[in-house]
Every structure is written in structure tokens, then in C-alpha cells.
């Protein structure tokens, strides 16, 4: 049976070269980077090279790069660590209403710790309302966090404009970006964007799972949330995941090779898919789908069919998609993102996310469209009304 993987926003297939390198580090260059002997020095070199890679891609300093277990930990460290370190200046935090659970749930936790959080509304395309951001800022505000690309509908946030508004109000307010879905699709330069902290994850860019990175501007005051042997300047203790770090570094270098061509290819496939899927009656594409949206994410509502039913019907045909954020897929619920953009009631539990990578082909897109043309009318026919 043909296999079509269109769930790349959940995770990506690792590059072959990344898999080989990870195995080599785990089985040959397996020393602890804190050890003083040769095996430790060999391991430490991978960390140094990874910092050089990310510093070059971000145009930041190597000492501003910290490795974590993934995007979720990077987000937690940025929000909790910065909030606790700066709470004498205020206890007001701002984010958007359609952030990833790694941000939303962390903000909810900080509310329990006594912080006040403002969740900014978004327009029907999933972009934050800049006027609402201006109105939310106050003397007590210490941190703003806005994602680069929304993981469900692919909206791209006006990060530079938002950060400019924040810094114009008070240059000491920290600005964090969850760039997990944007890194590897866009060239992101935190200092140019006036971003103080930026989170990424390895498994979204054809790297290993369980590894992420956080850029922290050297001027940012932050407290650790993990305590141990004081690795990484005591910002993130614990023996470094050297194999993961090496894999993340190689994946980052590889994904940015010929990036423009890769993005152009995905945009072409995205447009082709949208033109085809909207031929099906009672469907809608959520958010924008021109060049101002992410090149790899398509959110489609199929009125009259529960998303879980359609997802498994596609799975039986070898097509793998998602019904929303994979991080909350074990606990089915109506998407806060769809509610946030004002999606119609008929689409709240009837939406699938199709997400591509550089490996996706036109043949796979056409096979998916043909399958949808056949099964959507059939499923609607048997849906109870």
C-alpha cells in the first residue's frame, strides 16, 4: 500500500545523514562532555560545533545558545525562568490566544504562581491584533511571547512589528518567540527582529526527537528550572544529549541548504492541494494560504465529518495526517486555535491538518486528493444528521 506522510508539523523523518551521525556519536564518540579525558573532549567538540552552527544561522553569539530536551522545555525555560528572574519589575505577561500548549499551559501555571496573563485575540486568519497588544502593555509587563508560525493553521505572526511595539513602549520588556514551526522554513535573525529569546526543536527539521535549543540574549536575566551539575552556565543542568545536539546541528545545516528552492516547492504543492481540495463541497481552508502564510501547513475543514473519522479513513489508505496539535492528540478536544480564529461551528470538530516537508511529492498530493474525492462523499452519506 502506498504511504503518504502529511503530518510533518507533528514530526519529520530524520535525514539519513542525521541518523548515521547520531548512531556514530552514541556508539563511538560516546564520552561525557564534562569529562576531562580525550573521549570527553571529543564529545565536547560536537557541542561547540552545534553552537557555531546555530549562532551562524541566527546571527547571534555562541554563548547565547542553550540546548534543551525540545521545544516544550525551551518554551518553559524562557517563560518560567525569565518571569521568576524579573518579577521584581512586574508580574504581567502577554501571549496570544492561539499559542502551542507549551506556551498556553506554561502561562496557566504562571497564573497559579501569581502572575497576570493577557491572552491576545487574533483575526480570522490567525494573526495577533497589534492594537490589542498596544492596549495590553502596562508598567507591570515584563514578558511577551508570540509564536512565529501557528502549528495548526500556518498563520505567520508579525513578529518584527510586535517586538517593535513592545520595545518602543519599554525596551526592558522581554520578547520571546516560539519558532518551532518557523525555523527551517524562514531565515530568523533574533537580534534584527528585536527578539530576546527564541525556541526551536530538532524533530521538526528532520533531526532527532528529544533535542531543542533556546537562544537567550546575553543581557536577559533568567533563572534555571532544572538543577544539577551546573552544565551550560547553570542555565540548563544535566549531561548534554550530545548525539541529539550533533543531530540537531546537522539537520539545521542541511535544511537551510537551498532553502528557497525547498520553500518554493512546498508552496507550489500547497497551492495545488488547496485548489484541489476546495473542489469538494462544504470544505473550507482555515487561515491565509497565500505567500504570507507558512509554506507547509494546510488546515481544511470538512463539514459533516468528524475529524477523527476522516483521519482514520485516510490512514486506511496509507495517508497520515493530523486533527490538530500532536501534543494534545491523546486528549481529543475542540481546537482553541479554531475557536480563536472564529471558525464556523460545523468545522470545530471536522478539521484536519495536512503538513508537508521537502520530501513531499506532487504524486503524493494527487493521491491524497483522489482519495478525498472518493471517501468524503461516502462518509457524509453515512453520517447521521
**Active-site residue list:** 327
| pTM of the complete model | 0.95
Q: How many angstroms separate the CA atoms of 178 and 128, rounded? A: 14
296 neighbors 8 (Cβ within 8 angstroms): yes
- On whether the CB atoms of residues 35 and 350 are closer than 8 A, the answer is no
DSSP state of 81: I
Domains of the chain: 4-12+259-381 (3.90.1150.10), 16-255 (3.40.640.10)
Q: What are phi and psi of 337, to 5 degrees?
A: -65, -45
List the one residue out of 126, 162, 166, 134 whose CA is nearest residue 146. 162
- The C-alpha angle 22, 227, 109, rounded to 5 degrees, equals 100
Distance (Å, rounded) from C-alpha 203 to C-alpha 324? 17
Torsion, Cα 171 101 190 126, to 10 degrees, reads -90
CB 95 within 8 A of CB 117: yes
Joined grid coordinates for residue 30: 560516546
Q: Could you read off the pLDDT tens digit of each residue along the chain, which spans 385 residues?
A: 789 999 999 999 999 999 999 999 999 999 999 999 999 999 999 999 999 999 999 999 999 999 999 999 999 999 999 999 999 999 999 999 999 999 999 999 999 999 999 999 999 999 999 999 999 999 999 999 999 999 999 999 999 999 999 999 999 999 999 999 999 999 999 999 999 999 999 999 999 999 999 999 999 999 999 999 999 999 999 999 999 999 999 999 999 999 999 999 999 999 999 999 999 999 999 998 889 999 999 999 999 999 999 999 999 999 999 986 555 545 456 788 999 998 989 999 999 999 999 999 999 999 999 999 999 999 998 865 4
Note the pLDDT of residue 331. Answer: 47
Cell of 375: 471517501
Q: What are phi and psi of 118, to 5 degrees?
A: -105, 125
91 closest CA partner among 110, 111, 108, 116: 116
pLDDT value at residue 383: 67
| Phi, psi (rounded to 5 degrees) for 178 | -85, 105
Cell 556508539 belongs to residue: 27
Q: Are 206 and 254 in contact (CB under 8 A)?
A: yes
Closest CA to 128 of 157, 164, 103: 157
Q: What is the pLDDT of residue 1?
A: 77
Amino acid at each position: 500500500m502506498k504511504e503518504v506522510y502529511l503530518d510533518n508539523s507533528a514530526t519529520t523523518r530524520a535525514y539519513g545523514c542525521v541518523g548515521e551521525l547520531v548512531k556514530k556519536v552514541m556508539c563511538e564518540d560516546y564520552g561525557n562532555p564534562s569529562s576531562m579525558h580525550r573521549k570527553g573532549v571529543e564529545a565536547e567538540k560536537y557541542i561547540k560545533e552545534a553552537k557555531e552552527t546555530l549562532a551562524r544561522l541566527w546571527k547571534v553569539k555562541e554563548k547565547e545558545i542553550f540546548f534543551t530536551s525540545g521545544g516544550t522545555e525551551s518554551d518553559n525555560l524562557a517563560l518560567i525562568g525569565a518571569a521568576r528572574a524579573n518579577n521584581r519589575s512586574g508580574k504581567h505577561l502577554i501571549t496570544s490566544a492561539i499559542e502551542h500548549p507549551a506556551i498556553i499551559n506554561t502561562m496557566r501555571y504562571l497564573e497559579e504562581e501569581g502572575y497576570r496573563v493577557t491572552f491576545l485575540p487574533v483575526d480570522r486568519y490567525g494573526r495577533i491584533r497589534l492594537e490589542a497588544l498596544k492596549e495590553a502593555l502596562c508598567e507591570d509587563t515584563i514578558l511577551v511571547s508570540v509564536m512565529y508560525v501557528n502549528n495548526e493553521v500556518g498563520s505567520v505572526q508579525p513578529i518584527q512589528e510586535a517586538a517593535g511595539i513592545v520595545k518602543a513602549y519599554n525596551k526592558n520588556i522581554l520578547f520571546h518567540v516560539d519558532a518551532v514551526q518557523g525555523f527551517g522554513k524562514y531565515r530568523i535573525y533574533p537580534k534584527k527582529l528585536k527578539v530576546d529569546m527564541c525556541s526551536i526543536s530538532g524533530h521538526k527539521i528532520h533531526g532527532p526527537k528529544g533535542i531543542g535549543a533556546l537562544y537567550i540574549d546575553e543581557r536577559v536575566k533568567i533563572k534555571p528550572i532544572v538543577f544539577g551539575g551546573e552544565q551550560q552556565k547553570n542555565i540548563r543542568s544535566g549531561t548534554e544529549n550530545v548525539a541529539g545536539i550533533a543531530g540537531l546541528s546537522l539537520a539545521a545545516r542541511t535544511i537551510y541548504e537551498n532553502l528557497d528552492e525547498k520553500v518554493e516547492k512546498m508552496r507550489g504543492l500547497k497551492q495545488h492541494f488547496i485548489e484541489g481540495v476546495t473542489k469538494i463541497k462544504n470544505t473550507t481552508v482555515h487561515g491565509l494560504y497565500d505567500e504570507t502564510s507558512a509554506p507547509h501547513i494546510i488546515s481544511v475543514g470538512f463539514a459533516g465529518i468528524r475529524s477523527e473519522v476522516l483521519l482514520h479513513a485516510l490512514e486506511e489508505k496509507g495517508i497520515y495526517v493530523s486533527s490538530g496539535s500532536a501534543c494534545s492528540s491523546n486528549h481529543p478536544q475542540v481546537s482553541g486555535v479554531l475557536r480563536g480564529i472564529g471558525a464556523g461551528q460545523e468545522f470545530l470538530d471536522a478539521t484536519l491538518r495536512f503538513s508537508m516537508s521537502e520530501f513531499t511529492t506532487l504524486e503524493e498530493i494527487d493521491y491524497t486528493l483522489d482519495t478525498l474525492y472518493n471517501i468524503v462523499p461516502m462518509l457524509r452519506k453515512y453520517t447521521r444528521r
